[in-house]
Chains A and B, each alone.
Chain A
Amino acid sequence: MKRYSDLEYLRLSKLQKFLYRLGSFLCSIPVAVWHGIKKLGLAIWGFIKGIGLSVAEVVTTFKYGSKPTRLSYFIMGAGCFAHGQILRGILFLLFEAVFVFYMITTGSYWLSMLPSLGILGPTEEKKLIPELGMSVKTTVYHDNSFKIMLYGVLTIFFIIAFIYTWWVNIRQSKTAEKILASGKKLKSGKDDLRSLVDDSFHKTLLALPMTGIIVFTVMPIVFMMLVAFTNYDGSHNGYSNNLFHWVGLDNFNTMLSWTSNTGAGTQSYAATFGEVLTWTLIWAFFATFTNYFLGMMVAMAINKKGIRFKKGWRTILVMTIAIPQFISLLYVSKMFAKNGLINNFLIDMKWIETALPFFEKASWARVTVILINIWIGIPYLMLTATGILMNIPQDLYESAKIDGASGWQQYSKITLPYMLFVTGPYLLTQFTGNMNNFNVIFLLTGGAPNNPAASNSAGTVGYTDLLITWLFKITTGAESQYYLASVVGIMVFVVVALITLVAYSLLPSIKNEEDFQ
Chain B
Amino acid sequence: MSDVKVQKAMKQHMGLTASRRISNTAIYIVLTIMSVIWLIPFVCIVLQSFRVESTWQVGYVIPRQWGWDNYVNLAKTDFWRWYTNTFILAILTAALQTIIVLCMSYTLSRFRFKMRKPLMKLMLVLGLFPGMMTMIILYRVLADLGLTQKNSIPGLLLVYVASSGMGYYVSKGFFDTISKSLDEAARVDGANRFKVLVKIILPMSKPIVIYTVLTAFMGPWGDFVFARYISMGTSAGKNVAVGMYDWLSQDQIGKNYTMFCAGGVLVALPVTLLFLFLQRYYVEGVTNGAVKG
Which of A's residues lie within 8 Å of B, judged by CB?
146, 150, 194, 197-199, 201-202, 205-206, 208-213, 215-218, 220-221, 223-224, 227, 298, 301-302, 304, 306-307, 313-328, 330-332, 334-335, 337, 339-341, 343-349, 375, 379-380, 383-384, 386-388, 391, 406-408, 422-426, 429, 432, 436, 438-439, 442-443, 467-468, 471-472, 475-476, 482, 485-486, 489, 492-493, 496-497, 500
25 A-B residue pairs with Cβ-Cβ distance under 8 Å, sorted by A, are A150-B140, A197-B193, A202-B113, A205-B104, A209-B103, A213-B162, A217-B134, A217-B166, A220-B133, A224-B133, A224-B136, A302-B31, A317-B35, A318-B282, A331-B261, A332-B41, A334-B57, A344-B60, A383-B282, A383-B286, A384-B290, A391-B291, A472-B132, A472-B225, A497-B128
Given contacts A213-B162, A325-B222, A384-B287, contact A224 B134 (CB under 8 A): yes
CB atoms of B271 and A323 under 8 A apart: yes
Given contacts A298-B34, A313-B31, contact A212 B272 (CB under 8 A): no
Query: Smallest CB-CB separation from B293: which chain A residue?
Result: A425
CA A347 to CA B40, docked complex, whole Å = 19
**Could you give, for residues 1-43 of chain B, a 1 whenever the CB lies within 8 Å of some chain A CB and a 0 otherwise?**
1001001100000000000100110011011001101110110
Given contact pairs A213-B162, A436-B130, A386 touches B287 in the complex (Cβ within 8 A) = yes
The reply to whether B129 and A489 contact each other, CB–CB distance below 8 Å, is: yes
Looking at the complex, which one of B59, B110, B158 makes contact with A348 (CB distance below 8 Å)?
B59
Q: How far is the CA of A335 from the CA of B260 in the complex (A)?
A: 13
Q: Which residues of A contact B276 (CB under 8 A)?
A: 315, 318-319, 322
With a cutoff of 8 Å between Cβ atoms, the chain A residues found around residue B123 in the complex are: 213
Question: Contacts A322-B271, A322-B275, A407-B7; is A340 near B57 (CB within 8 Å)?
Answer: yes
A344 and B58 form a contact (CB under 8 A): yes
A126 to chain B: closest CB distance in Å?
30
**Docked CA distance A191–B82 (Å):** 50
A338 CB, nearest partner CB in chain B, Å: 10
Given contacts A341-B57, A375-B38, contact A327 B279 (CB under 8 A): no
Main secondary structure of the interface of A (DSSP, over half): helix
- Flag whether B125 is at the interface (Cβ < 8 A): yes
Find out whether the CB atom of A334 lies under 8 angstroms from the CB atom of B248. Answer: yes
B253 at the A interface (CB under 8 A): yes
Cβ-closest 6 pairs across A and B? A387-B287, A344-B59, A209-B165, A212-B162, A220-B134, A489-B133
Establish whether residues A215 and B134, one from each chain, have CB atoms under 8 Å apart when the complex forms. no
Determine if B204 is an interface residue (Cβ-Cβ < 8 Å). Answer: no
How many angstroms between the C-alpha atoms of A346 and B276 in the bound complex?
34
Interface bin, chain B: 35 or more
A298 and B30 alpha carbons, distance in the complex (Å): 9
Is B287 within 8 A of A383, CB to CB?
A: yes
For chain B, what secondary structure do more than half of its interface residues adopt (helix, strand, loop), or is it mixed? helix
Residues of A within 8 A of B60 (CB): 344-345, 348
User: Which chain A positions have C-beta within 8 A of B133?
Assistant: 220-221, 224, 471, 485-486, 489
A472–B224 Cα distance when bound, in Å, is 13
A471 and B130 contact, Cβ closer than 8 Å, known pairs A324-B218, A324-B241, A380-B286: yes
* B200 CB within 8 Å of chain A: no
The interface bits of chain B over 149-188 (1 if a CB of A lies within 8 angstroms of the residue's CB, else 0) are 0000000001101111110000000000000000000000
B221 at the interface (CB under 8 A from A): yes
Contact A326 to B241, CB < 8 A, known contacts A201-B193, A391-B291, A442-B225: yes
Q: How far is the CA of A319 from the CA of B43 in the complex (A)?
A: 12
Cα distance, A347 to B58, chains bound together (Å):
11
Known contacts A216-B138, A486-B133; is A208 also within 8 Å of B100 by CB? yes
Chain B, 266-293, CB within 8 A of any chain A CB: 267-268, 271-272, 275-276, 279, 282-283, 286-288, 290-291, 293
